[in-house]
Structure 1
Amino acid sequence: MKNYIKADEWNIIEEGFDPHLNKISESIFSLGNGRMGQRANFEETYTGETLLGNYVAGVYYPDKTRVGWWKNGYPEYFAKVLNAANWVGIEVKLDDEILDLATAEVSDFKRLLNMHAGYLERTFTAKLKSGKTLKVKSTRFCSIADDEVGAIRYSITPLDFDGKLTLTPFIDGDVKNQDSNYDEKFWDKIADEISGTEAYIKLRTKKTAFEVCTGSNIELYKNAEKLDINPEAVRKEKFVGQTFSIEVKANEEITLVKIAANLSSENYPKESLLKETKSVIANASAKGFDTLLTEQTEAWASKWEESDIIIEGDVSAQQAIRFNIFQLFQTYTGKDDRLNIGPKGFTGEKYGGSTYWDTEAYCVPFYLATAPQEVSKNLLIYRHKQLGKAIENAAKLGFKDGAALYPMVTMNGEECHNEWEITFEEIHRNGAIAFAIFNYIRYTGDESYLSDFGLEVLIGIARFWKQRVNWSNDKQQYVMLGVTGPNEYENNINNNWYTNILATWCMKYATEAAGIVKTQQPEKYNSLLKSLNFDQKEFTDWADIIEKMYYPHDEKLGIFLQQDGYLDKEQTLVKDLPASERPINQKWSWDRILRSCFIKQADVLQGLYFFEEDYDLDTLKRNFDFYEPRTVHESSLSPCVHSILAAKLNDEARAYEFYLRTARLDLDDYNNDTEDGLHITSMAGTWMSVVEGFAGMRVRDGKLQFNPFLPGKWKSFSFTIGFRGTTLKINITESGISIKNNAAIDLEIGIRNQLYKLAGNTEIEVNNAALV
């Protein structure tokens, strides 16, 4: 665990430069706007350890799978969001000496991520080997007001010398992914152009033929006065830039402003890509850096108005929740239903930037409450558009008749994960997609989604589960063999309780959804079932499986068993593990992990989180008290589920402990892996821990319910949510809860199982005495 980020309510601050922490900071201080993003790499040359990363949403490459032994059904590639052209680069030379923080003596270094306004600022003083000293201040952002534009303002002040300053702003497309399986570079150059202060390069991905045009325009200032300098063009392989040479004197400030843009063939015809990029650059340059930054600040203010969580009395917790919300909105804005949320967002290459089940299980609840309804709906439509591919994925594994198996990892709907125990066996991801449809409708009330999109997906998923189970003559029940549950420290197990319960729930919900569509839109219902070659006998088959499914459990302990034979393992608790042996995924052999009882993340408890209405508190407590002490929480998705369940059990200490772990997972580098990129999808779990955990928010029978408590270190906390056309401001203090309705719609609100009328544009306050 690291602890070098300064506590601040609205800023992420690093003071002092430690090269050993640089890759971690490159992740933490990353920028994005939903359409493109970048790690916090330095603008100037840096020959130290770094992970360069610039990314353009939706642009990927099918890197050839690298495995030792091929198995039938393996995907042939692993799709990767590509490290794209580096547009932030500015080479700085003082006379003939290059500024390089790896070789210079660095002082007064400060990096600041302003989350309220959405920009990154960096200041430092550097003494070069020659003895020359200069001061630098850079400010940059990726605009969410215009998501094709990025901007940099880079100021240099010589402190103790006169001489020649040479600046070479550039765009470098000669890049590769650090995780390239065969060290291949994925881009070909199509065209480039340098004209005065403007530079453009157009690249095309190999195999997939995506095209991206990156352009920039440069302005130079001396002591705030604009300079008119004709630069020298610089052109190399997949590299364009300009060199500006200026005679400077001590204490004169030279400022370079770089306005850049990334446009892709996903949004423009390839033949007009260069022209459109020039137009974007011209419009952005006409506005200028200050206006672009003002627009950025205003756009972020609007987002914070909808989504901020305010915590009084705990700066560390306040900083953490805002950091997580900030990174979620930098990653996904919901404008494009072709895009989704990679586990690392725009902050690193691990997991390939592809879509996992994390989106449906963790991110959908966040966007349902903090963004317009279309945003979460687009996440669901993304999966509907890929239903055909899901049916193809299932067919490759021997399933038929329209059975759909959604991929564990994907960019275009086709499975591209290359580990057998995940690709073939971690099939519970299908259930998360069905649950997201249910969750969306439960929250929004938008049952029309079923007839328009949802029922078709639910039927495909139910068909898969029907074929995936088999009848056990020994048990006289249906069983599910050879699976991997959410706990990936168990592979190829039989009857994972979570997977079994999820499978039958999917068949129940598909049946229920069919009834809703049949009642509301009978013609559409009949047409859909005809197009799917659906036989009414399928409902009967599903009902038989639902009735006769086997669920492993232990009567003596009163718990659901994670899988058959789990209690045959040596039952060691995490508290008895030496600190020197953790994390076990970095210290133990895989064989040893698989034979242990240790759990990577919520598994049985994931099911109890999804379906908590079906179980009483005693059942939840028995299972929580058994499984949590055996959980090592080595998945970023683990602490939030445990925090929410602990809160439901009124276990305030553990609820808060798990909240801090999920909230500051990246800021404090809990798992020693932040340098690979941030854990974007688990950041939604941080929000869930506050809103579903501490505030106890649920939707029951179309009504919002709250069961709040205030963590002991907090004076109060408040948050805003959207719900069915209303915007509600919830404030929880030591004395009770207040809810303000900012719309003209009347609501009924449940607070600790008691219903209250909340008229439009009014506020209710319920004190704790009334809640007893």
Structure 2
Amino acid sequence: MMNYTSGNGNIKNWVLSEEQFHPDQLGKCESIMYLGNGYLGLRSATEEPYLQEKRNLFVNGTFNQGEENEVTELPNLADMTRFDMKIDGERFSLEFGKTKEYVRQLNLKTAELTRKIQWISPKGKEIWFQFRRFVSLHNLHLIGMKLEVESVSHPIQLTIESGINGQMTNSGSQHFLEGERRVHQKCALEMIQTTKESKINIILNAVHTLRINGEEIRNDPEMNMSRRKVWLTYNVALQPSDQFVFEKLATVYTSVDKEFSRYDKGMYDVEYQLDDSIKYIRKQASKELQELHNKGYEMLFNQHAEKWETIWNIYKLEVDSTESFDQLALRFSLYHLIAMTPAHDEKMGIGAKALSGEGYRGHSFWDTEIFILPFFTYSNQAIAKSLLTYRYLGLESAKRKAKANGYEGAMYPWEAAKPSDGEVTPEWGDIDIVTGKPTKIWPGLIEQHITADIAFAIYQYTKVTGDKDFLIAYGYEIIFETATFWASRLEWSSENGQYYINDVIGPDEYKEHVNNNAYTNYMAYFNLKLAIRFVDQLKQDDKKRFLQMDKKLDLNNHYLNWLEKAEKLYLPEPRAKDHVIPQDDTYLSLKELDLSKYKNQDSVRGIYKDYNPEQINHFQVTKQADTLLIFYLLEQTFLADDERLSQQVKSANFHFYEPRTLHDSSLSLSTHVILACDLGKVDLAYEMFTKLCETDLGPSMDTSNEGIHAASIGGMWTAAVFGFGGVRLYQEELRINPQLPTQWKQLKFVFHWRGHPLHITITKSTLRVEASTMENIRFRVFEKAFTFRESIEIPLEKGSLLSY
């Protein structure tokens, strides 16, 4: 049972609590309470083992192909969090005895996981346990664990087995060769794992400290070793009221860590090679472990907590709501955005499940560019640039994919791992309930809009940050190569004298093999037009750079092709009778289906229990925001004045498609929240915002078993800031149109606009903008332009300005 109101005082609305343990409902807390720093991701399984648990430890960027017939994935590293404990020879488990008190908590403020348990053993002995754990934001390689035990009623004999267990798999797939194992000085453990295909070395170390009543004890443990495993067994006698403390500090290093690798600048692709031998890495890891051991858990945790305090001071997002859940949910969003993002290394992306579970194998999708990246674009330019550089490092593999499919330019993979890997989407998926066979996974072949999504993200980033250096170094080349792909992808219809994009999947993955998916066509059009504008811009502003790129990419010839293709690309028009844009060529002629059963379902994808993909393809049902994304994204571009994107057309399409959308993807609701705010439907937006936050934080205990929903977590921030806060890149300018829901008295947040941090305070009656700069800042509020220095306060009424 989850409780989100247990925090009090200075941790009010900072704490996620599980207040009742159930061995068959482990996945939710393992996922939503996972600990990470962008390098390490540690799923929050309990220390003592249970049958339904899922123990995962990932290092970002360590992809490996387990078998020839499998796709590459982040391998599940050796586990170091399991403690096998016995009380007087009997295994400690909450499935036995009686639990008087239980609470597991994640404190978002300090990023520490704790469990407190008051337990009576089967023999009637009452024992108090406290478990603590963190993954350091101060030292990316460090995991800290601490166990405190007190026997309340009787003397006990406590046995603890703790080690490094390399017997872990990815749902049965073993990624590692049998590695070296060793015990140092009867307290420190070492294991080396090497991935079977990618040959990445993983160096794991752990050290233990034991104290009774504050005094360190030199317990002589039993040393044990078996296949892929090394561990120590400690036996401790405790009298009633004795305070026993067991600390375990662990570190993880790999041979692809940035400090041990280099970039081969002679290649367009990326190759990371060891500068030093594995012996050097082991030596460095061993030396650091000793230094960490000398500091101990508390000092290391304090350093970690101070780093998080700095984070919370930078990324402010505060809401005064009648529903306290709203504030906690937004902090949950920020916590996970930091925990999931590899800010330390541009050769790594963000997985769709972050680093919280095996779902989607750690692969990156369009989730990053459309739903996660905007937070960093508006909050931390350096990290946003790093995430986009990851896409540049994958440009050569995108070009290889285009060539392999008979196209030119760069065709980005639907699922990405290492930048050089190319397409890594699996071929087969869930069961087809009609045939009983696995369903074919088509997105890796025909869900192609991701190529334009990346182009859009580059455009958004450069307009918001003003980072022209990125364009010169990376951005122009991506835009030109992706436009070249679209120009080669279009198919000519001599009958209609237009170019079509046939046989695709749009964002609505319930519609496969459709022609002219509106979102795909409009985004391809944007990509082509952007390339044309950038060539014109280069010719005018940087003739030398243009000539260099023309020599490399043959820009002059491609430019003429882009012009011709963009002019004749078919863009589905709003219907005259109701202004609805057809989602694809056949959608509006499909059978309608009563969706009430699925709209009110407790879990997603319920429709698959009644129909297979081929059947769903013939109904007017949409998995997630599709056509509606056109308005949200392209209104931020130079296409904002296009009559097909007018407020009237937006409203018509929202009212048509939302009732037909099941929101069976966690990517869906944030877009609907933002558009509902744009249309003045703030009550509906708030209702959807609550559902969005409940994607991971809702009462259902099984929706996050495979990991958190990274895109919806990014979407929570965008829903608050872009939706209720009204912040938007609009017609290449900054616009702020606030729309607070009834439940919110005040919203405060910070974002960056072209290098300037802007502090926003919104109430029902005022918008206040503060900037720590003496430069003029220009923006619009409900179509009225304002320019200010330092600060400005603007009176508001619902959905508009008061006279100013």
- TM-score, structure 2 normalization: 0.90
> Is it true that 1:139 corresponds to 2:132 in the alignment?
yes
Partner in structure 2 of residue 547 of structure 1: 567
Q: 1:482 aligns with which of 500, 503, 508?
A: 503
Q: How does 1:389-408 map to 2 (within 5 A)?
A: 389-400=397-408, 403-408=409-414
Tell me, yes or no, if the aligned pair for 1:665 and 1:671 is still in contact at 8 Å: no
Paired with 2:773 and 2:161, the residues of 1 have a C-alpha distance of 53
| Letter paired with 1:359 | T
Q: How does 1:196-595 map to 2 (within 5 A)?
A: 196-267=186-257, 268=260, 269=276, 270-313=278-321, 314-371=323-380, 373-400=381-408, 403-413=409-419, 414-419=422-427, 420-532=441-553, 534=554, 536-553=556-573, 554-572=575-593, 574-575=595-596, 579=600, 583-590=605-612, 591-595=614-618
Tell me, yes or no, if the aligned pair for 2:598 and 2:662 is still in contact at 8 Å: no
Cα drift, residue 742 of structure 1? 2.9
Paired with 1:606 and 1:539, the residues of 2 have a C-alpha distance of 27
1:524-545 CA-partner distances (Å, limit 9, x unpaired): 221122122x152321221122
| Letter paired with 2:103 | K
| Letter paired with 2:110 | A
> Is it true that 1:741 corresponds to 2:771 in the alignment?
yes
Partner in structure 1 of residue 750 of structure 2: 720
1:171-228 CA-partner distances (Å, limit 9, x unpaired): 11111012xxxx3311123322211211111100111111111111111111222222
Tell me, yes or no, if the aligned pair for 2:15 and 2:328 is still in contact at 8 Å: yes
Paired with 2:729 and 2:544, the residues of 1 have a C-alpha distance of 31
Partner in structure 2 of residue 117 of structure 1: 110
SS in 2 for 1:80: coil
Q: Per the alignment, do residues 3 and 174 of structure 1 end up closer, same or farther by CA in structure 2, a change over 3 Å counting?
A: closer
Cα drift, residue 516 of structure 1? 2.1
SS in 2 for 1:709: coil
Q: Per the alignment, do residues 396 and 669 of structure 1 end up closer, same or farther by CA in structure 2, a change over 3 Å counting?
A: farther
Paired with 1:237 and 1:338, the residues of 2 have a C-alpha distance of 33
Cα drift, residue 644 of structure 1? 0.3
Cα drift, residue 287 of structure 1? 2.2
Paired with 2:731 and 2:646, the residues of 1 have a C-alpha distance of 18
Cα drift, residue 703 of structure 1? 4.3
Tell me, yes or no, if the aligned pair for 1:220 and 1:227 is still in contact at 8 Å: yes
Cα drift, residue 64 of structure 1? 4.3
Q: Per the alignment, do residues 251 and 733 of structure 1 end up closer, same or farther by CA in structure 2, a change over 3 Å counting?
A: same
1:712-767 CA-partner distances (Å, limit 9, x unpaired): 0112111111232322221111221112213444312322222233313x453544
Partner in structure 2 of residue 193 of structure 1: 182
SS in 2 for 1:559: coil
Partner in structure 2 of residue 73 of structure 1: none
1:105-132 CA-partner distances (Å, limit 9, x unpaired): 3231101111111111111122333333
Cα drift, residue 576 of structure 1? 6.5
SS in 2 for 1:374: helix
Paired with 1:7 and 1:164, the residues of 2 have a C-alpha distance of 34
Tell me, yes or no, if the aligned pair for 1:79 and 1:410 is still in contact at 8 Å: no
> Is it true that 1:663 corresponds to 2:693 in the alignment?
yes
Q: 658-667 vs 513-522, which deviates more?
A: 513-522
Q: Among the aligned pairs, what percent are the same residue?
A: 27
Partner in structure 2 of residue 647 of structure 1: 677
SS in 1 for 2:385: helix
Q: Per the alignment, do residues 231 and 576 of structure 1 end up closer, same or farther by CA in structure 2, a change over 3 Å counting?
A: closer
Q: How does 1:683-698 map to 2 (within 5 A)?
A: 683-698=713-728
Cα drift, residue 702 of structure 1? 5.7
> Is it true that 1:597 corresponds to 2:627 in the alignment?
no
Q: 429-438 vs 565-574, which deviates more?
A: 565-574
SS in 1 for 2:310: helix
> Is it true that 1:19 corresponds to 2:23 in the alignment?
yes
Paired with 1:126 and 1:304, the residues of 2 have a C-alpha distance of 36
Computed over aligned residues only, the root mean square deviation of the Cα atoms, in angstroms, reads 2.0
Paired with 1:626 and 1:731, the residues of 2 have a C-alpha distance of 34
| Letter paired with 1:457 | I
Paired with 1:163 and 1:236, the residues of 2 have a C-alpha distance of 29
Gaps of 5+ in 1: 67-76
Tell me, yes or no, if the aligned pair for 2:2 and 2:17 is still in contact at 8 Å: no
> Is it true that 1:634 corresponds to 2:637 in the alignment?
no
> Is it true that 1:49 corresponds to 2:52 in the alignment?
yes
Q: Per the alignment, do residues 65 and 226 of structure 1 end up closer, same or farther by CA in structure 2, a change over 3 Å counting?
A: same
> Is it true that 1:184 corresponds to 2:158 in the alignment?
no
Q: 569-578 vs 742-751, which deviates more?
A: 569-578
Paired with 2:494 and 2:700, the residues of 1 have a C-alpha distance of 47
1:626-671 CA-partner distances (Å, limit 9, x unpaired): 0011000000000000000010001111111111111221011669
1:32-65 CA-partner distances (Å, limit 9, x unpaired): 1111011111112x23311111111111212447
SS in 2 for 1:715: strand
Partner in structure 1 of residue 432 of structure 2: none
Tell me, yes or no, if the aligned pair for 1:450 and 1:513 is still in contact at 8 Å: no
Q: Per the alignment, do residues 65 and 190 of structure 1 end up closer, same or farther by CA in structure 2, a change over 3 Å counting?
A: closer
Q: Per the alignment, do residues 349 and 622 of structure 1 end up closer, same or farther by CA in structure 2, a change over 3 Å counting?
A: same
> Is it true that 1:92 corresponds to 2:100 in the alignment?
no
Tell me, yes or no, if the aligned pair for 1:306 and 1:721 is still in contact at 8 Å: no
SS in 2 for 1:764: strand
Tell me, yes or no, if the aligned pair for 1:575 and 1:629 is still in contact at 8 Å: no
Partner in structure 1 of residue 434 of structure 2: none
SS in 2 for 1:673: coil
Cα drift, residue 5 of structure 1? 4.7
Partner in structure 2 of residue 35 of structure 1: 39
Cα drift, residue 552 of structure 1? 2.8
1:669-691 CA-partner distances (Å, limit 9, x unpaired): 66953111100122111100010
Paired with 1:580 and 1:537, the residues of 2 have a C-alpha distance of 53
Cα drift, residue 602 of structure 1? 0.7
Tell me, yes or no, if the aligned pair for 1:189 and 1:201 is still in contact at 8 Å: no
Tell me, yes or no, if the aligned pair for 2:27 and 2:701 is still in contact at 8 Å: no
Paired with 2:414 and 2:699, the residues of 1 have a C-alpha distance of 26
Q: Per the alignment, do residues 642 and 770 of structure 1 end up closer, same or farther by CA in structure 2, a change over 3 Å counting?
A: closer
Tell me, yes or no, if the aligned pair for 2:760 and 2:768 is still in contact at 8 Å: yes
Tell me, yes or no, if the aligned pair for 2:372 and 2:710 is still in contact at 8 Å: no
Tell me, yes or no, if the aligned pair for 1:478 and 1:550 is still in contact at 8 Å: yes
Q: 443-452 vs 427-436, which deviates more?
A: 443-452
Aligned residues: 751
SS in 1 for 2:306: helix
Q: Per the alignment, do residues 104 and 393 of structure 1 end up closer, same or farther by CA in structure 2, a change over 3 Å counting?
A: farther
Q: Per the alignment, do residues 669 and 635 of structure 1 end up closer, same or farther by CA in structure 2, a change over 3 Å counting?
A: farther
- TM-score, structure 1 normalization: 0.94
Q: Per the alignment, do residues 756 and 558 of structure 1 end up closer, same or farther by CA in structure 2, a change over 3 Å counting?
A: closer
Higher RCO structure, 1 or 2 (CA under 8 Å, sep 6+): 1
| Letter paired with 1:136 | F
